[in-house]
Amino acid sequence: MVRERYFQQLDLLKKCVLSFGELAELIFRDSMSSVIDLDISLAEKTLALEFEADKLEGRIEASVFDLLALQQPMASDLRLVVSTLKISADLRRVVGLSMNIAKIPGRMEGGHVKPLIDTGKMANIVAFMLENSLRAFETQDAQLAREVAARDEEVDKLFYAVWVELIEMMAKDTSIISRATNLLFLIRYLERIADHCCNICESVVYLVTAKKVTLN
Amino acid sequence: MTEAVQNVSQSQIEVENLNLWYGEKQALKNISMQISKNSVTALIGPSGCGKSTFIRCLNRMNDLIKNCRIEGRVLIEGKDIYGPDVDAVDLRKNVGMVFQKPNPFPMSIYDNIAYGPRIHGANKKDLDGIVEQALRSAAIWEETSDRLKSPALSLSGGQQQRLCIARTLAVKPRIILFDEPTSALDPISTSRIEELIMNLKKDYTIVIVTHNMQQAARISDYTGFFLMGELIEFGQTRQIFHNPQERSTEDYITGRFG
Ligand SMILES: Nc1ncnc2c1ncn2[C@@H]1O[C@H](COP(=O)(O)OP(=O)(O)O)[C@@H](O)[C@H]1O
Ligand SMILES: [Mg+2]
C-alpha cells in the first residue's frame, strides 16, 4: 500500500480514542462506587485520574490536527477524524461529570437519605451506554449505536422518578435538604453522561453512514 | 419553453453509451454522463484509465488519431457532435481545450490571442477589444497590457497557461475542456488557475481532468471517477469526497489503491 504511515496514524488515533473510552469507563464506574459506598479513598483515587484524561484528550487533538493539516483525509477517513475529535470531547465531559460525582462522598456527612436503588439502576444503564457506544465506535456498528441511544429514555424516566421522590422527602423533612441535594446533583450528572453517550452514538452513525442524526 | 428544451439547457453535454477503441484495445467502456451547464466537472482516476481519451471525445480530438473507433453518442446542447452535418472546426470553436503543457504559438502575446478570432473572421477594428477582453477574463491583463508585442514564450509557465486560456476564450466557446492544466505549474500559478476556473464557470461549462484530488475537491461541482476505461462513479463532488458509494472510489481517493 502507498500510504502506510498515514494508515498507521489513523489506526493509532482510533486506538487512542478507545483507550480514552476505557479510562472514562473506569473513572465513571469508580466514581459511582465511591458514592454508593461513600468510599472517600476510592473517590480521591478517581479524582487523581483527571490528569490522565487531559493528557489523552491532548494527544487525540494533536493527532487530529496533524492528520488534517498534513494528510488531507478524505471520505471515510475524514469522517473518522472528525468523529474522533467529537467523541473525544464527549468523553472529556463524561470524565468531568464523573469528577463531580466523585466529589460527592467528601460532602456527604451522615450517610445517604435513602437506599440508592433507582439511582443504581440509572448508573447501570449509563455504564451500559458508555461501554456500548464505544463498542459501536470500535466495530463501526450504526445499529448498535441507535440501540444504545434508545436507552436514554429509561435514564430520563428514572431521573424524573428519583427527582420527584427526593423533592417529596425534602418537603417532609427539611433536615435532609443538604444530603438530598447531593443526590439531586448526582442524578443530574448521570442524566448528562447519558446525553454524552447519545452524542457519541450520533458520531458513530455519522462515521458509518455520513448522515447527521439526532438520537435523543 | 417546453420541458424538453429546458432539459437541454440544463445538461449541456450528454454522453450516451460511449465506447472507444484504439485498434483492438478498448479504452472507454460504455460511458454515460450528463454534464450540467455552468458547472465544473472534474474527472479523476489513475493514469491510463481513459480520462484524456474521454474529454478528447467531447470535441472530437480523437478524429485526428489513426485506428481510433468510436461508438455511442455525444450530444452538446442536444445535438450529436458525431452527426454527419457537424463541422469539427466549428465544434472546436464551441468546445475549447487547454492542455497540460502550456503551448503558446511562437508569436507575440497579442497575436496568440488574435489568431483564433482572425481565422473565424473577426473584424480588424474589433481585435484590440477582443484581445483585451480575453486577457482580462483569463486574469492576465494586468501582467501583459504593457507588453502585448513581446513574444508569448517570454512569459513564465503559469502566465503562459493563462495566456492559453485567454486564447481559448477569445473565440467565445461555450465549453472549455482542461486536461491536467496545472500539473506543470508551481503552487501559486496553480492557485491562480484554480481561481480562474471557478470564476469562468459563470459563463462557461467546464470539464477538467486532474490527477490532483485536492484540486478536484476544491474547484469542481461534480466529480467522475474513471478506472480502466469505465466510469465507476459520478456525482456531486461533496458526496464523492465525503461519502463515495463505490468501494473502488473510496479506495482511490483515500490512497488505498493497489
Ligand atoms: N493515441 C493512442 N493510441 C493508442 N492507445 C492510446 C492512445 N492514447 C491513449 N491510449 C491508451 O488508452 C488508455 C487511456 O489513455 P488516456 O486516455 O491517456 O488515460 P489518462 O488520461 O487517464 O491517463 C491507455 O491505456 C493509453 O495507453
Ligand atoms: Mg491524460
Please, which pLDDT band fits residue B4 given cuts at 50, 70 and 90?
Answer: very low
Looking at the CA of B100, name the nearest ligand: 2
Q: State pLDDT tens for residues B201-212.
A: 999 999 999 999
Query: Measured in Å, how far apart are chain B's first and last C-alpha atoms?
Result: 50
**Could you read off the pLDDT of A24-52 as tens digits, one per residue?**
999 999 999 999 999 999 999 999 999 99
The CA distance from A101 to A192, in Å, is 12
In chain B, which among 206-235 make CB contacts under 8 A with chain A? 213-214, 217
Q: What are chain B's domains?
A: 8-253 (3.40.50.300)
CB B176 within 8 A of CB B55: no
- How do residues B6-53 score in pLDDT, each as one tens digit? 444 478 999 999 999 999 999 999 999 999 999 999 999 999 999 999
What is the rounded distance in angstroms from the CA atom of residue B201 to the CA atom of residue A151? 50
Alpha helices (runs of H) in chain A, residue ranges in sequence order:
4-36, 40-47, 50-71, 75-102, 104-107, 117-139, 142-150, 152-172, 177-209
Q: Measure the CA–CA gap between B39 and B181, rounded to whole angstroms.
A: 17
Cβ burial A169-189 (10 Å sphere, 16+ → b, else e): bbeeeeebeebbebbbebbeb
Q: Per mean pLDDT, which of B3-7, B147-151, B185-189 is the most reliable?
A: B147-151
> Atom 14 of ligand 1 has which residue's CA nearest to it?
B50
Q: How far is CA A73 from CA A10, A81, B188, B235, B249, in A?
A: 9, 8, 23, 19, 14
Closest partner CB to B243 (pick from A2, A73, A75): A75
| Atom 7 in ligand 1: residue holding the nearest Cα | B22
pLDDT at B5 over 50: no
CB B109 within 8 A of CB B148: yes
Mean pLDDT of A189-210: 98
A 10 A CB-CB count for B9 gives 12
Question: Which pLDDT does position A1 carry in this prediction?
Answer: 54
pLDDT in tens, A56-93: 999 999 999 999 988 899 999 999 999 999 999 999 99
- Beta-strand relationship, B205-209 and B11-22: unpaired
Taking residues B227-254, what's their average pLDDT?
95
Q: How many CA atoms lie within 13 A of A65 on its CB side?
A: 5
Q: What is the mean pLDDT of residues B221-242?
A: 97
pLDDT value for B251 = 94
Domains and CATH numbers, chain A: 4-209 (1.20.58.220)
Beta-strand relationship, B205-209 and B79-80: unpaired
Instruction: Say yes or no: CB of residue B232 within 6 Å of ligand 1.
Output: no
Q: Give the Cα separation of A159 and A171 in Å (integer).
A: 18
Q: Kindly tell me the sign of the dihedral angle through the C-alpha atoms of B233, B237, B240, B243.
A: negative
> Given strand B40-44, what is the order of strands in its sheet?
B95-98, B175-179, B205-209, B40-44, B222-227, B230-236
Average the pLDDT over A170-185 and give the result.
Answer: 94
pLDDT, residue A111, reads: 86
Cell digits of residue B158: 503559469
Using the Cβ of A175 and the Cβ atoms of chain B, whether some distance falls under 8 Å is answered with no
Is A7 near chain B, with CB under 8 Å?
yes
- pLDDT, chain A, mean: 95
Query: Does residue B22 line the site of ligand 1, with CB under 6 A?
Result: yes
Find the ligand nearest to B53 CA: 1
Taking CB atoms and an 8 Å cutoff, what residues of chain A touch B254? 73-77
Q: State the Rg of chain A over Cα.
A: 19
pTM, two decimal places:
0.85
